Amino acid sequence: ETQHARGLEAIYEMLRWGHAEFAYDAHAGPAEQSIDIGWDAALIEVVMREREEQALRPGAAGSEISAAMLPPEPDLTGQEFGTYVVGPKLTESFWDKVYQAEQTSIGRPVVLHVLRSSLRESAERAQEFLDTASANANIRHPAILPVYEAGEYEGTYFYAREFVIGRTLYEIKARGHTIPETTALRVVRAIAEALAHLDDHGIMHAPLRLSRIFITPNDESRLADVAVSSPGMAQLAPAQIEIQMIGRILIPMTKAAAIPGSGRVLTLIHRMQTSGENAIVTWSDLAQEAKKLAPIVGPPPVLLSPKKTGVLDKVKLWGKRG
């Protein structure tokens, strides 16, 4: 436990300290929970958080998370991989490389996650990768992108999920763009309903990252890779912490819309940041509050070309066939 966090979040915080002095309390009570996480997994999460936060700071160059710190990894672009033809790389992390691909057996575009070669020798890491894919494959919720298949091909572990056309909240914020109030409300509702659904079914979720929250050209919001199978990789802090984080992120990037009752949307986002009696402390409560405002924004508009909507220019195609 630290001054600002407990449990796994405290471990993440301590790993980011450059220098620290520790005090021993002989009267402290026993630990309230056991945390089972490998140091490699903890360090991966910490580095990814740090890099994403640095990229979002004012004046940061570029909007992509640099892969310069990652160990070299073979590029599968243009290769046949089982029943898939691999397209260009979309992104990568310490866990995996992510590609556009086509599932040729049924002509379906997908996003293909491939476990890094440096982690394949660890049976524990490989199983955790597949278990996480399985956890996401067994979720049925309209705001969560489903996993279609997971497995091993010639010693390489992978999983394929639904592709989505659009941009991530990370990309929008990093480029200094804004989103309309109506879109912000749909983002809030999608996140809240998705995570409330996981809570209701006893499914653990990963710490929320802006790079996992997509906004499509018709203003729908979808979440990718949200479920985890291991408590060591799960978000164990109270939901209120993440609710406050999403509120803080959305306020500066949300612009008022000329719609009746629009002030109520911004009021809700402001309320997400608060603590005390008026605080929103569960995803279910936030989903209910967002649902009350649904008539204000109405249904998502009919899907149009990004150039015609003028809302999300320079749309990135996640999984579009070349």
pLDDT at 45: 58
pLDDT at 117: 87
Query: Are residues 118 and 161 in contact, defined by beta-carbon separation less than 8 angstroms?
Result: no
Does the pLDDT at position 283 exceed 80? yes
What pLDDT digit, counting tens, does each position of 193-247 carry?
999 999 999 999 998 989 899 999 988 999 999 999 888 788 878 899 999 999 9
Q: Are strands 156-162 and 221-223 parallel, antiparallel or unpaired?
A: unpaired
pLDDT at 84: 97
Q: Mean pLDDT, to the nearest integer, of 242-255? A: 93
Residue 107 CB: number of other CB atoms within 10 A? Answer: 8
Query: Are residues 238 and 6 in contact, defined by beta-carbon separation less than 8 angstroms?
Result: no
**Closest among 94, 6, 37, 41 to 14, alpha carbons compared:** 6
CATH, domain 165-312, list 2.60.40.3080, 1.10.510.10, 3.40.50.1980, 2.60.40.10: 1.10.510.10
Residue 67 pLDDT level (bands cut at 50, 70, 90): low
Q: Which residues contact 156 (CB under 8 A, 6 or more apart)?
A: 81, 114, 115, 117, 120
Query: Are residues 95 and 88 in contact, defined by beta-carbon separation less than 8 angstroms?
Result: no
Residue 91 pLDDT level (bands cut at 50, 70, 90): confident
pLDDT at 119: 86
Tokens of 296: 């204000």
Domain extents for the chain?
A: 165-312
Residue 308 pLDDT level (bands cut at 50, 70, 90): very low
Tokens of 230: 């291991």
Residue 81 pLDDT level (bands cut at 50, 70, 90): very high
116-120, 201-205, 276-280, 304-308, range with the lowest pLDDT: 304-308
Main-chain dihedrals φ then ψ at residue 291, nearest 5 degrees: -65, -35
Sheet containing strand 221-223, strands side by side = 221-223, 213-215, 164-168, 316-318
Q: Which helix (H) or strand (E) holds 267?
A: helix 262-272
Tokens of 20: 């620290």
Which tops the pLDDT comparison, 28 or 221? 221
What pLDDT digit, counting tens, does each position of 159-169 carry?
999 999 999 99
CA distance 74 to 85: 15
Does the pLDDT at position 293 exceed 90? yes
Residue type present at position 252: P
What pLDDT digit, counting tens, does each position of 115-156 carry?
998 888 888 889 989 999 999 999 999 999 999 999 999 999
CA distance 296 to 293: 6
Query: Are residues 303 and 269 in contact, defined by beta-carbon separation less than 8 angstroms?
Result: no
CA distance 170 to 210: 5
Tokens of 119: 């982690």
pTM: 0.75
Q: Which residues contact 143 (CB under 8 A, 6 or more apart)?
A: 190, 191, 193, 194, 221, 222, 223
Helix (H, G, I), strand (E, B) or coil at 49: helix
Across all residues in the chain, what is the average pLDDT? 80
Can you say whether the dihedral through the CA atoms of 168, 318, 286, 207 is positive or negative?
negative
pLDDT at 1: 55
284-301 burial code (b ≥16 CB/10 A, e <16): bbbbebbeebeebbeeee
